[in-house]
A and B are shown apart, each in its own frame.
Chain A
């Protein structure tokens, strides 16, 4: 069996005295889509940020594609990774944020080609061609030269997805990608994500879209108060939850 794309073993994360993750065990296989559900403050976003090296874990082991996140193992000790090594690891993981975080001083296309030209050293003309193709894929071929401020929330989020895909990541992290959107704009973003899942991208999606989770996810994980309450195929976790906490959460969001 091949190594899983993401493997969490007893992951703890504290902010000062506040313990946000209290021993998370998770496994995400290659090409798998995992949806993280749970009330706000349950640690879902923090877990995503840990996977992308935006936060350092305090204890446990967290690895992506068989390599530890943030550390290197040598002679029985853990060594902190140099900033450059962290950056190159991050480049292999795409992340999409709730608030889009597009670069407002760049057009849609400039947003998409920045990292390939700047980090990978792709030729500008090649990057432009590929960037235009990516934006076309998310349905924005007519918005290449438009600044983010002139795009709707749904369009901005699709640019953000294209921007992450431009680095050809092996793993995509979505942090509540549709939570900041007007209801009628959610569909386009979910469509783009659905398509991505069909193409075999490994994805971890923090979401409140239970319908999307039911349809697209291979595994649904319900988190509460820093622990995984239950996980399994969507039909089980969403259709027939075993835990009271999962049931009451689902009653509220459905």
Chain B
């Protein structure tokens, strides 16, 4: 066949129709998985101890919903403070000043090295350590002061514990993000006359975000669940609210199921949020947006259609 021949060909060649390879293994594995799944579902549905009717009764109980609002509040505030703290600590850690980077290292070492539950108890009992909290000149006179018990309420103690702990983890995540930005970016920005702060804010951090966001999503999900540890301080977040109910009614299992449902619902919402934030900071990093599972489902809902670049 000559070259000119190929150039004018218009009809499509016939597709190959071959006998597919038989894969009995796939069928066997699929059947095993389905049988196991069915037996788990059967056990869950038929076991009367799950008390599904009680679950339904408490799912929208006002005490549970109030507890959930408290959990969301704690998660959001502690995460925001934790992220800000993390950025500051990461920048400090990368500072050329050894005292500044050393201080950041020490902070991270301490807060990552002790259990969160212990830190929560410390903050909750801070009044035993510092009965009076004063704000003033170091080693000098105090300007404002008050009793620790009145300033550090259970809510404040919870926030302090969660956000200071989160700051240490976020610092490492942000630092990894900053390091991931190639040096040439900083040099290009500096050669244009941008200051160190401008370079950090306009060039380095926005690019670091792409690396920082997936683990931060992870952290937010952990945070949401770690708020349940706050129940030890008798602060009425979701888990403690459930405990209060089952301490009276003794319906422990159904109430644990109730809060598990809510925790799952909340983490699912976070999945969706993370997808959109990732897409926002992924701009300029791939020619066509990679079709993630979430986008494929969304596209399905809109009746198909791919994402375009930029």
Residues of A within 8 A of B (CB): 52, 54, 83-84, 87-88, 90-95, 97, 99, 101-107, 114-115, 118-119, 145-150, 160, 163-164, 167
Task: Supply 8 further A-B pairs (C-beta < 8 A) apart from A90-B190, A104-B285.
Answer: A84-B195, A104-B207, A105-B281, A114-B202, A119-B198, A145-B310, A149-B287, A150-B309
Q: A99-B184, A101-B184 are in contact. Are A149 and B190 (CB under 8 A)?
A: no
Q: Chain A residues near B192 (CB, 8 Å)?
A: 90-91, 114-115, 119, 163-164, 167
Q: Chain B residues near A160 (CB, 8 Å)?
A: 188
Q: A52-B191, A115-B193, A115-B194 are in contact. Are A149 and B284 (CB under 8 A)?
A: yes
Minimum-distance CB pairs A-B, first 3: A91-B193, A101-B188, A147-B284
Question: Are the CB atoms of A105 and B198 closer together than 8 Å?
Answer: no
Q: Within the complex, which residue of A95, A105, A118, A164 is in contact with B284, where a contact is CB–CB below 8 Å?
A: A105
B196 to chain A, nearest CB (A): 6
Bound complex: CA of A87 vs CA of B188, how far in Å?
12
B258-310 interface with A by 8 A CB criterion: 281, 283-287, 309-310
Question: Are the CB atoms of B284 and A104 closer together than 8 Å?
Answer: yes
Let me know if B217 is at the binding interface, CB within 8 A: no
Let me know if B206 is at the binding interface, CB within 8 A: yes
Let me know if B203 is at the binding interface, CB within 8 A: yes
Question: Are the CB atoms of A54 and B195 closer together than 8 Å?
Answer: no
Question: Are the CB atoms of A118 and B194 closer together than 8 Å?
Answer: yes
Residue of A nearest to B192 (CB): A115
Let me know if B61 is at the binding interface, CB within 8 A: no
Question: Are the CB atoms of B193 and A149 closer together than 8 Å?
Answer: no
Q: Chain B residues near A106 (CB, 8 Å)?
A: 284
Question: Are the CB atoms of B193 and A101 closer together than 8 Å?
Answer: no
Bound complex: CA of A115 vs CA of B194, how far in Å?
7
Q: Chain B residues near A94 (CB, 8 Å)?
A: 191
Bound complex: CA of A119 vs CA of B192, how far in Å?
8
Bound complex: CA of A84 vs CA of B182, how far in Å?
23
